[in-house]
Structure 1
Amino acid sequence: MVRSHAGFATRPWNIRRPVARGVSRLAARLWPFWESAKVTLDPWRDEQLPVRILRLLDQLVSDRIILQPVERAILAIAPFVREAVMSVGAKLLAEQDVETLNEVADAKPIRQALEAVHRGRPNLVRRAQWLAENGRRNDARSVAWWLAHRMLLRRTLLWVPRHKSGGELADDLLAALAPDPGNDYLQQALDPPRLLRVAKCIAAADRLLLPGSENLKQLRDNEAVRGTHPELIRETLLARLLHLAGWLALDPRHLDELVAEQIGAIPLTPSLLIETLSKLQWLSGPHERLRLQARARTLRLSSPFACTLMPLT
């Protein structure tokens, strides 16, 4: 995913060659984290999601917003940073047996957070248990992981390094985020704490970017990066662009509860949903409005899926 699209990440962004190489190398270092999470058997993994976010960023920015080259570099790598963090979180949770829907004694904090989600959606817990009892193991897994992502997507501890109290961000991922040594410009621009601050805002809950929110307080604006010409980084602007592009990219993990309820009742699977999402695109309409359209004319959306897209759009 990251490795195959690392080149794409820098092409449309007018990033200077040395910086583009640094972004591509960083993307390649993030690839193993996404790849290693295959062992979780999470059916909601979407390989094309970072690419959709990048295309939307290119569409949103266009000629409307003048970005510094360093800001473009941060936008280019942020979707891959997020997927690496979410992959680490999925592996942590998989160790606690996501498909076990009963409460576990002496559960670790991340398992306790998952069980809180289970208690809040007893209808889906019953649904997954019924599917498993009737030999529908794949459908049961899909519902169980949908519930798991409700927790993972809002778990802030995934973004906190382990050396800090309660943090769950893997040390090896933090080391992989470190920019190439010997290049002061890259070390300032692609500073790991900055990348984490900004990437965390992709498709984040709206309340996380409200005035006075903790997320917004952590963002730093107008920090200068020293190079041939000093460049200012506007983290708040980058965070808001990533927030919007993340939602418009239609992350399958954010799909409504209606989708999870329909799994096993109609021919609906995460792989079918992910394939459908890959065939949708946002087109510019009059008055700077965006409208969602299928790239393939033969694409048909089932009624539940169409209803699910409405609140996202």
Structure 2
Amino acid sequence: MTQGHLLGAADIRRIAAQEGISPTKKFGQNFVIDPGTVRKIVREAQIGANDHVMEVGPGLGSLTLAILETGATLTAVEIDPPLAERLPQTVEEFMPDAAARLRVVNMDALKVTPSNVPDFNDDARFTLVANLPYNVATPILLTLLERFNNLDAFLVMVQKEVAERLSATPGTKVYGTPSVKLAWYGEAHNVGNIGRNVFWPAPNVDSALVRFERYAADDPRNPQNRGVERERVFALIDASFSQRRKTLHAALKKTVPAQAFENAGIDPTRRGETLTIDEFVALAKACKELEA
């Protein structure tokens, strides 16, 4: 481990003032000013010196320094050019021994692929650790999981309501499209709430931490082993939740024949919000077999 000085409120405001940086709503920027919070995130992420980590939206470097403090190697993806340019200087100032383990990529996380950010291509596994912008958290997570098969875990801080949706179970009020699609890849759990006072500027919402672990390829729980394509399953999920109050029969009448419900053992008078990922997979597989 590389012990260093983590950023507090005074450090954050000084760096921002020096660079003429102001948090913007456009990029959903709220900078963490509490060292205890970033250390908690890193602890929950269970990363160590042998890990390679992706951080999305490093901002002024609060979480970046806490990740580097573990000895891990880090690739930080930052959309805002001034912040991307400043980050290596901050690490050099506060944790110089860790500077060689940091690479900064100035890019929109939704555009990151194994070809344009090949840093992780030789890794059997890597972890995402991030304080994600509230407005794009779910698309970022699902996009990265789709594109990087070796992204096997993440620990993210997101808006509390987003965290509840990501980790929701069938039949609950907040269970929806993100809940089911994330369950295609693995298991997510809420591992703690974060107050507003650890940010600058303080947001109007509370935050929470979500821990996710991807199913291994040979895990019997892995829905991807059921012989049906992700695109087909996700299309059913989207259609089922497009009008939550409709029954499956009504929501899917144009795409799912009655026989498919019977073959999958699913009552068509149920609503999409009651189905598990395994049931969506079974229904998609039944449709595929009827088409064959």
| TM-score w.r.t. length of structure 2 | 0.31
Structure with greater strand percent: 2
Q: Which has the higher helix share?
A: 1
- Scaled by the length of structure 1, the TM-score of the pair is 0.29
Higher relative contact order, chain-length normalized (CA < 8 Å, sep 6+): 1
